Structure 1
Amino acid sequence: MEQRSIATEKQNKIAGWGLLIGVLLIASNLRAPLTSVGALLPYIRDDLDISNTVAGSLTTLPLLAFAVLSPFASSVANRIGMERTIFYSFILLTIGLIVRTLFGITLLLAGTIVVGLAIAFGNVLLPALIKMKFPLKIGLLTGLYAVFMNIFGALASGVSLPLSRISRWGWQGSLTSWAILTIVALVVWMPQLKKQAESPISDDGTGTAKNNIWKSPLAWHITVYMGTQSMVFFTMVSWLPDILNDNGYTSGAAGWMLSLMQLAFIPFTFITPVIAEKTADQRLLTAITGILVMIGAGGLLTGNAILITIAVICIGGACGAAFSLSMMFFSLRSNDGQEAAKVSGMAQSVGYLIAAAGPVLLGFMHDITADWILPITIVGMIGIILIVTGMKSGADRKIASAQ
């Protein structure tokens, strides 16, 4: 009996580590297929003879796919099981990564949409999976998966161009190479498919199975908080180099500053949820994220090199912290895995629509004013929205009881 108990305990530890590695590999694939496109856009545009508008859609289409599919991800997972849904979505992701590099603009756009739809499942379901499988380690696991997701996203952004130069297929070979990472994730994830009894998203009766999550004020606060932090990040990724060019920075120096912002993002994605997990109330942390965005916007307006550097770090850190807090709120403010998946789906659907509007809005403001003062001021005002919605989201309460 004792030997059997030791063997069972050893099997459980191995299974636990296998699940953890699987989660981190899934997370590693949630940004790399998207960020790998950015540095290759000029080559894709010239090779296929497409306009800048069509080329730009390669980054916009996945965000729109997130918005369309995210609300339905939890329903699919509840029917066929969370582990199976993630597995099938990664088969779809592998297909999309290959299809988008085949023969012309039509398949490029179609494959890009498929990639966005596949990643939407992982975006929505990972926070719910963490709540179900690691209920006592939500902060640590949220931090780890956010770090892996963003490290591989940054890595893909940096190595995609060198990969295209050493590959016989050019940009096609570079983009297709990321399918290797998805295949590795699929292989490691396969043992999770045996857990059929555990795979449906559980509902203990206290969540929103009988309630409409879209009518919850707290769910909306979380959604707007998630969306506005994404808006700040994607807006800065799009326009920070141009803002710095107008301040006298060379294109190379502006690119390094953008890298600095993304480097500042990564440690905050890990540190913040670890701190947040130790407290029931995260209002102070959310307020700090909004304040840092406001400080960052103010620093960009000064034109001073030292203050601009501080501003870039503040914005990167704020976005990293706010991103992790958003992911945590899906779990912390829900009562069960089903509710967490529903909140995640709602927040990521509306949130990515908000995020997609940011670069367009600020670009329009720059066009009509021929200056960056008004657009940067708007970014600072978004910091106020982060404070208000973050204070509501960070309070110690649950979705169902908050309706």
Structure 2
Amino acid sequence: MAKRQWTISLILMVVSIFFVALNMRPAVTGIGPLFNVLMTSLHVSSTSISLLTSIPVFCMGLFASLAVPLQRKIGTKSAIALLLVILILANGLRFLQESYLLLVMTSFAAGLAIAIMGPILNAYIKNKFPQRFTTVVGIYSFGIGIGATLSAALSVTFYQSFGNSWTVALGIWALLAVMALVIWLWAIPAQSNEQLQRITTIEHARNPWTSGRAWAILLYFGLQTSLFFSMMAWLTPLLQDKGMSLETASVMLTFMSIVQMLGNIAVPLLMEKWQSRTVWLLALGFVGLIGFTLLWLMSGAYLWLAVLLIGIVLSGLFPIGLLLPLDEAKNDLEANSWSSMVLSGGFMLSAIIPMMIGVCYDRTGNHTWTYIIFLGLMVCIIATTGLLRKNR
């Protein structure tokens, strides 16, 4: 009986982690499908709209280091609950008015919450599921993928359904955060707070900032995150630049997100059988080069193939980025500190690329540099495999 109750408790933990993960992208990725709508409505440049992606991503890096002290101070359950409340406010305030300043402020708040949430959940997964953390990380990344897919699929639909109101299309994601908060408070046992405080007083963690291996993982994570957020922000305007309507471009973004979502759960499961991270990275890197070349040079049905390949690449790169610091961690405190360092530096690095694309487009009036940047990111990701092997 006790074993059955423990099993049910673990299942509820996984479910609650999944629902929290659903909320870790819509506040950011909901901007991309409405990129041109926001630029026209707010009378700002593409660089300014790019900042709405870059700001929360930069915050994800800037504040990730707060995960360890916050988790020590109030514990996992209370920390995640607090961060979900911040996400509810960040999304909900977007209902109020059509204001670029308000979007900047809420993007900052969302980035703050997501930044701290990631390392805490990584450490929690490592602690609670030491033998199956690859699978649970897969479910976690699957939830993040679904959240990104929902925002890609429904943002334009909400916009059109509510009288072309982008405030509703962006603010409605607060409801998803409310749902996650209720499930988290109900499913996670209160002793999660007490256990962490006891453990962190006796565990020792290596300092990742002095490890060459950690820096190599950080670089990889930053490159793959740059690729993800840049694609979520710029795929719709790229396709519209090729002559597609907003609706068709939105459908293709949704298609890419669905492929990525399915891969987020499939790749970690496959990695339990074929465990070489290097082989996976090389394979995904070369597939990505093909995908972005097709996206640049081709049109018509080939664009669907390009988006399919890019979705597959994104689906594999992200869970590998989550797993690499956990592979190195010897305990849950070390999982937190290594994940904090990787996510902190990686997200700060990745905040540069979406804004860089916006600046290049404003100056040139075309997307040639956009495609060059995407191909450059893939080449750099392939190159990081050498660093990862060297620093093993």
Normalization by structure 1: what TM-score?
A: 0.83
Shift of 1:268: 1.8
Match of 2:155 in 1: 160
Match of 1:81 in 2: 75
Match of 2:104 in 1: 109
Q: 1:197 aligns with which of 191, 194, 199?
A: 194
Is the contact between residue 301 and residue 376 of structure 1 (CA under 8 Å) also seen in structure 2?
yes
For 2:170 and 2:276, locate their aligned partners in 1 and report how far apart those are by CA, in whole Å: 42
For 1:172 and 1:89, locate their aligned partners in 2 and report how far apart those are by CA, in whole Å: 22
Equivalent position SS for 2:95 = coil
Is the contact between residue 54 and residue 354 of structure 2 (CA under 8 Å) also seen in structure 1?
no
Equivalent position SS for 2:63 = helix
Equivalent position SS for 1:29 = coil
For 1:246 and 1:50, locate their aligned partners in 2 and report how far apart those are by CA, in whole Å: 19
RMSD value, Cα: 3.1
C-alpha change, 1:377 and 1:40, in structure 2 (3 Å) is closer
For 2:103 and 2:353, locate their aligned partners in 1 and report how far apart those are by CA, in whole Å: 25
Amino acid across the alignment from 1:66: M
> Is 1:15 equivalent to 2:9 in the alignment?
yes
Is the contact between residue 204 and residue 334 of structure 2 (CA under 8 Å) also seen in structure 1?
no
Structural mapping, 1:347-358, within 5 Å? 347-358=342-353
> Is 1:325 equivalent to 2:320 in the alignment?
yes
**For structure 2, which runs of at least 5 residues remain unmatched after alignment?**
none
| Matched length | 387
Q: Deviations over 1:295-314 (max 9, x none)?
A: 22333344364554433222
Structural mapping, 1:4-403, within 5 Å? 6=1, 8-40=2-34, 49=42, 51-52=44-45, 54-102=48-96, 105=99, 106-164=101-159, 170-191=165-186, 192=188, 194-195=190-191, 196-200=193-197, 202=199, 205=203, 207-208=205-206, 211=207, 213-244=208-239, 253-303=248-298, 305=300, 307-365=302-360, 372-373=367-368, 375-393=370-388
C-alpha change, 1:312 and 1:15, in structure 2 (3 Å) is same
| Farther off after superposition, 77-86 or 24-33 | 77-86
Percent sequence identity over aligned pairs: 24
Shift of 1:201: 8.4
Normalization by structure 2: what TM-score?
A: 0.85
Amino acid across the alignment from 2:257: Q
| Farther off after superposition, 276-285 or 358-367 | 358-367
**Which one has a bigger Cα radius of gyration?**
1
Is the contact between residue 148 and residue 257 of structure 2 (CA under 8 Å) also seen in structure 1?
no
| Farther off after superposition, 255-264 or 11-20 | 255-264
For 2:50 and 2:356, locate their aligned partners in 1 and report how far apart those are by CA, in whole Å: 15
Equivalent position SS for 1:324 = helix
Amino acid across the alignment from 1:222: I
Is the contact between residue 286 and residue 391 of structure 1 (CA under 8 Å) also seen in structure 2?
no
For 1:283 and 1:291, locate their aligned partners in 2 and report how far apart those are by CA, in whole Å: 13
Shift of 1:35: 2.7
Shift of 1:216: 1.3
Amino acid across the alignment from 2:280: L
Shift of 1:362: 3.8
For 2:144 and 2:315, locate their aligned partners in 1 and report how far apart those are by CA, in whole Å: 12
Is the contact between residue 225 and residue 347 of structure 2 (CA under 8 Å) also seen in structure 1?
yes
C-alpha change, 1:329 and 1:202, in structure 2 (3 Å) is farther
